[in-house]
Structure 1
């Protein structure tokens, strides 16, 4: 898998995020993903982000795989008990999906169906342990899996700008011990915080870091993110740049490119988020002088089943 190879070799790794559709037609999401071919090593598909109804990450990842695009399957614990998580993991493996980002999931109250019932039987650390069990060929109930272990490449999320440094250090260590093999950060706008996180927490644990870079479209967009996204802390200086720009969209691309260049000098790679503007991601990477070093594989001609 391209992402795992890039991280294992020490090369700069690039991922980008796409949002599944709020409906049964994946054509727009797939069209956005196609524009990322050759620019990124893998495409990350969100799983019920912000507790809003979307097509399943597993389904979109499989469709990307059929397009010859490597994916990262997000799996959140909020909506599934352990039996459902186990079933989805085994199904994903059968469909040829290998990259996995294990998440607790945003709280239901953050979404547009606040009266829905959350499950939350597991959280990200316990999900990572479950994945590690399956990779070792262990049946979660007893004995061994009859057809051997799975081969997931599991990662976890982290927030370098978390106000509790000791809590962040302890949780990242638990995730590493549970089986995480890479970290993908939340949106990070403080290069010093990212450097400290990499040098003091991630690197000593042997965990490569993909630093999260978010495309800001306007000053209003940035202020909205600060208001509604937990942990977001976009500096006022960036908001002012966007407010004063003659072309806020172009200025947002320049800001993101600057952040990408800054991040890859500190972390092993970047994870780009450009909600409903994925077509701008190649422009960001081009301005940053960055592109995936390996090409995407050819589209699958037959099912791996």
Structure 2
């Protein structure tokens, strides 16, 4: 049975849905998400050691999900953790496993990471080098935030070393619509080769639509969200992460709800309804990236409801 690629689904589906399950911590795999949602999603997303906390390798877990459920997979790559040789070898291996989508991210700061490659350099390395059958040139020293050394003349003009075969990755990047200078960062990622974006967790359609109206994107944007189930998580999202859309008003609604998890599902579905209507009216490709956040049954409810829209 052939697997339909995310890039092809996006071309014909104006509101694709992707799902990010909780990755295993260790080698014991117990998938807790309801299997009935599989037919409603376009692809899985697999994260890569969030906040530096080890999880099962995303290429391995992504391959297992792909083989078991016959769905395409987006693999997160935390670029701060890689050297150029390791980055290349991992991506060659991922291609041989049949994985075709990458989300290149910096990731949450972790003091033990070498920070040898910037996210823009990772995007260009895949799009311009590996996907064209070239070795990625070695970059000296530590990366500078959003500075792409692979766009310097000495790299552009150098004779590229050819490898046997080309990778075929659809490569994306993270988007934080409310971040300072995000328009500038977005443009740098586009210039580096980003072909799609996934936002951080958000609960407010307006923060996304306002950003889209400013940049007029020609590439798909998948908007991330997921259930909130406790006051502790709500405060962490609001105060520590500064998650868009968690205004004092929404936070109050969640606090006062009889069931915070169910109320967060309603908020997510309403946001996605607004985004779908906006995309349809304005000709943009927007989709949903629903994250489990340790509550797969609630994430599944979000998916089931937006699949009806």
CA contact (8 A) 2:207 2:245 kept: no
1:136 aligns with 2:128: no
How far apart are 1:233 and its partner, in Å?
5.5
1:124 aligns with 2:113: no
How far apart are 1:231 and its partner, in Å?
5.0
How far apart are 1:289 and its partner, in Å?
4.7
CA contact (8 A) 2:19 2:290 kept: yes
**CA–CA distance in structure 1, aligned partners of residues 125 and 97 of structure 2:** 19
Quick one: structure 1 residues 191 and 278, their matched pair in 2 at CA, closer, same or farther if it must change by over 3 Å? same
Unaligned ranges ≥5, structure 2: 138-159, 280-285
How far apart are 1:69 and its partner, in Å?
2.7
Look up the match of 1:263.
275
How far apart are 1:100 and its partner, in Å?
0.9
Q: Which runs of structure 1 show a deviation greater than 4 angstroms over 4 or more consecutive aligned residues?
A: 230-233
How far apart are 1:232 and its partner, in Å?
5.1
The correspondence for 2:252, drawn from 229, 240, 257, is 240
CA displacement, residues 257-293 of structure 1 (integer Å, 9 cap, x when unaligned): 11221222335111112311122223113333547xx
RMSD: 2.0
Look up the match of 2:193.
179
CA contact (8 A) 1:6 1:12 kept: no
TM-score when normalising by structure 2: 0.83
How far apart are 1:131 and its partner, in Å?
0.4
Within 5 A, what are the aligned runs for 1:1-305?
Answer: 1-9=4-12, 11-28=14-31, 31-32=32-33, 34-67=35-68, 68-108=70-110, 117-132=112-127, 133-141=129-137, 142-147=160-165, 149-162=166-179, 164=180, 167-203=181-217, 206-229=218-241, 231=243, 234-267=246-279, 268-290=286-308
CA contact (8 A) 2:225 2:290 kept: yes
CA contact (8 A) 1:154 1:180 kept: yes
**CA–CA distance in structure 1, aligned partners of residues 243 and 252 of structure 2:** 20
**CA–CA distance in structure 2, aligned partners of residues 198 and 209 of structure 1:** 9
Count of residue pairs brought into register by the alignment: 276
TM-score when normalising by structure 1: 0.84
How far apart are 1:75 and its partner, in Å?
0.6
Deviating more after overlay: 169-178 vs 40-49: 169-178
Unaligned ranges ≥5, structure 1: 110-116, 292-305
Give SS of 1:118's match.
coil
CA contact (8 A) 1:20 1:54 kept: yes
CA displacement, residues 182-237 of structure 1 (integer Å, 9 cap, x when unaligned): 1111122332221121122152xx12111122321134421122233255561121
Give SS of 1:43's match.
strand
Quick one: structure 1 residues 4 and 290, their matched pair in 2 at CA, closer, same or farther if it must change by over 3 Å? farther
